[in-house]
Amino acid sequence: MTKDPLVIFTPSGKRGRFPVGTPVLTAARQLGVDLDSVCGGRGICSKCQVTPSYGEFPKHGVHVEADALSDWNSVEERYDQKRGLPKGRRLGCQALIQRDVVIDVPAESQVHKQVVRKRAEVRDIVLNPAVKLFYVEVTEPDMHDPSGDLERLEIALKKEWGINGLQVDIHLLPELQGTLRKGNWAVTAAIHQVGDSAPHLLRLWPGLYEGSIFGIATDLGSTTIASHLCDLQTGEVIASSGTMNPQIRYGEDLMSRVSYAMMNEGGAQEMTHAVREGMNSLFDELAQEAGIDKAAILDSVFVMNPVMHHLFLGIDPYELGQAPFALATSSALALRTSDLGLNLHPSTRAYILPCIAGHVGADAAAVTLSEAPDKSEDLVLVVDVGTNAEIQLGNRDRLLACSSPTGPAFEGAQISAGQRAAPGAIERVEIDPETKEPRFRVIGSDLWSDEDGFEAAIATTGITGICGSGIIEAIAEMRMAGIVDASGLIGSAEQVGSTRCIPDGRTQAYILWEGRDDSPQITVTNPDIRAIQMAKAALYAGARLLMDKLDTDQVDRVVLAGAFGAHISPKHAMVLGMIPDCPLEKVTSAGNAAGTGARIALLNTTTRAEIEATVKRIEKVETAIEPRFQEHFVNASALPNAAEPFTLLREIVPLPDVSFNTGGEGAGSARRRRRRG
């Protein structure tokens, strides 16, 4: 008896023997090979393209003859004429197995394809979207056996695709009969299903729908709303855009928005309306930029901090403004975008990641998903720096999280010459330790201020102020150059030996930019340093508190998330004692990790249950009630720290042991605790 032909699929390596005449798609399905098909093997969707390989395959122990598959057939012929089948490709549902064969499934024919992320240290995203397309042929109505059109559609989806217990929104019913008849009883259904939840029909197109379906991942920040529009079939980001959060007009920081809701009748509703409208405009813009039909956007994921979470959901954030900071709900939410006042297709689904605690929101959960500290072998500190810093510390054994009220100083607020990161803002600073002379770079130009052509390069933007990363570098450079002492005091011209130090009220200021006719002088003042000291002390104290809980003085690596984290220089951050001492090369930036986490939850729904479970096991630490927080905060007011040695840092940078305290204002003033916001 001759054996059935052997079929080997690559790259999976799955293999099996099948009777002569078996379609490649059938063999793939039986072996559990990830080969896409929307039309169910009817030769019309072309999703099941495969590439047979011929010749000798010693590794697999087979020889593949030229006639291993059936000849190119009329369906493939027609498809090739109409759309073009790439050279060497076959339609898996048409090519029949004749002899032993090796078949490659190209990435674009895989349902669960890998979506590559830019950075090497994080795992790729495996595509497994909540919404998928299914083509079916539906039985026509029969008076001898009356049943509803919907019921026959359900039977077809069950029979052909194993979809059981389909749920259908009432708003789809009016178009159902027309679509079935227009498609001559063949339709493409977009079906939403996450895990074992009930499948929901979202849209129905007549015949084979050859367009794409999309999803939006949004990081709803207090300041900006940033969205990625993704193709749910390829995982690609096809457009990204951001907009200011329109709630800014009710208050720059979160606490002032909570106050606005408290002080103004209907204030919370106003802010809910504003953020939803802002998002509607953003989504319109994204769809337009990508040139897609907005009605093909069928899924969405949102992440945000707790106050934004409540305001977006229409919940008054009152309780978040006072102890015990109780969230109305902390669980992940699966909704319709219409529930959120968003003008997308009425079927479009929304998923909001779970909040971790009253100050640690769905955005922090998204950072966890993106940076996966819970899967890390070494002990990693993940810091998302914003108005509040969300801090996570842990590894695959334990993960802790807290929030610390850094305030807006890191964003350039509360700094005398501070401004948002925009053209004209000083973003990088170096100070010569001998001459105490600075040089800097300004957003909009790659040239340093002492390089040729700098004047010309900044002619249009001017030099308008210092942004968050600029002030960090300026103060850290001042500390390394001996212009500022460990307590944060700026020395006088005599103490420092530079005329750039000038009196400024009862303290001193350092002239970073002497100014011109058209641009004012820019100085770093002692109050500026105080503001940064308080912000960074809060950040460090939070991190240190988590280290206490894990009974450690050392972290293996540090990940800086958030836009600010992307621009900050690890060395300068460490000179300020923002983050614990560790090898500089172990400090990396994750960019908008919250946005990436949202995108992961959008593209791979298995991560939703995963992050929900992870959030449950995260150990939440509330800094406000931890006695040691105050102690860590006071120690961390010093530059870099009054209690921690920062041994690794001292090996690579000078930290002159100067002191400019003459009995006047000292570091102790940083003890004033700041309210959250």
Contact string 356-375 vs a copy of itself (x = CB under 8 A):
xxx-----------------
* CA gap 90, 103 in Å, rounded: 10
Write the DSSP string, 41-106.
Answer: SSSSS-TTEEEEE-EEETTTTEEE-TTSB----HHHHHHHHHH-PPTT-EETTT-BB-S-EEEE--
Which spans in 95-205 are helix H?
Answer: 149-161, 173-182
- Check residue 195 for interaction with a copy of itself (CB under 8 A): no
Nearer to a copy of itself, 229 or 615 (CB): 615
Q: Choose one: 212-220, 334-342, 390-398, 597-605; the region binding a copy of itself (CB under 8 A).
A: 334-342
Beta-bridge partners for 418? 466
Q: Which is nearer to a copy of itself, 50 or 327 (CB)?
A: 327
Q: Is 643 in the site for a copy of itself (CB under 8 A)?
A: no
Position among 50, 254, 340, 601 found at the interface with a copy of itself (CB under 8 A): 340
Residue 63: count other Cβ atoms within 10 Å of its Cβ: 14
Q: Residue 273, interface with a copy of itself (CB under 8 A)?
A: no
Q: Does 206 bind a copy of itself (CB under 8 A)?
A: no
235 binds a copy of itself (CB under 8 A): no
Among 2, 143, 434, 452, indicate the residue that binds a copy of itself (CB under 8 A): 143
The region that residue 136 occupies, defined by phi over 0 for left and psi between -120 and 50 for alpha, beta otherwise, is: beta
Q: Which is nearer to a copy of itself, 177 or 552 (CB)?
A: 177
Taking the complex as a whole, the smallest distance from the CB of residue 612 to a copy of itself amounts, in Å, to 12
CB of 284 to a copy of itself, least distance (A): 23
Cα-only R_g, the chain: 30
Chain centroid to CA 673: 31
Min separation Cβ 185 and a copy of itself, Å: 11
User: Which stretch, 71-79, 234-242, 316-324, 478-486, contacts a copy of itself (CB under 8 A)?
Assistant: 316-324
| Separation between Cα atoms, residue 382 and residue 620, nearest integer Å | 14
In angstroms, the CA 285 to CA 410 distance is 30
Q: Site for a copy of itself (CB under 8 A): which residue of 58, 195, 324, 663?
A: 324
Cα 652 from Cα 569, distance rounded (Å): 14
Binding of residue 609 to a copy of itself (CB under 8 A): no
Tokens 């939850």 sit at which residue?
601
Mapping DSSP onto H, E and C, the string for 208-271 reads CCCCCCEEEEEEECCCEEEEEEEECCCCCEEEEEEEECHHHHHCCCHHHHHHHHHHCCCHHHHH
Residue 413 CB, nearest approach to a copy of itself (Å): 28
The Cα–Cα gap between 38 and 213 comes to 13
Residue among 170, 453, 499, 518 that touches a copy of itself (CB under 8 A): 170
Is 197 or 280 the residue whose CB approaches a copy of itself more closely? 197
Q: Which of 116, 173, 456, 652 binds a copy of itself (CB under 8 A)?
A: 173
Q: Which is nearer to a copy of itself, 164 or 177 (CB)?
A: 177
Is residue 141 involved in binding a copy of itself (CB under 8 A)?
yes
**Is residue 15 a contact point for a copy of itself (CB under 8 A)?**
no
Instruction: Give dist(CA 327, CA 324) in Å, integer.
Output: 9
- The shares of helix, strand and coil residues in the chain, as percent rounded to the nearest 5, are 35, 25, 40
In the complex, the smallest distance separating the C-beta of residue 181 from a copy of itself, rounded to whole angstroms, is: 8
Number of residues that bind a copy of itself (CB under 8 A): 46
**Minimum gap (Å) between residue 320 Cβ and a copy of itself:** 10
Rounded Cα distance between 196 and 201, Å, is 15
**Interface pick for a copy of itself out of 233, 330, 419, 589 (rule CB under 8 A):** 330
- Positions touching a copy of itself (CB under 8 A) are 140-151, 168, 170-171, 173-174, 176-177, 313-316, 318-319, 323-331, 333, 335, 339-340, 355-358, 620, 622, 624-625
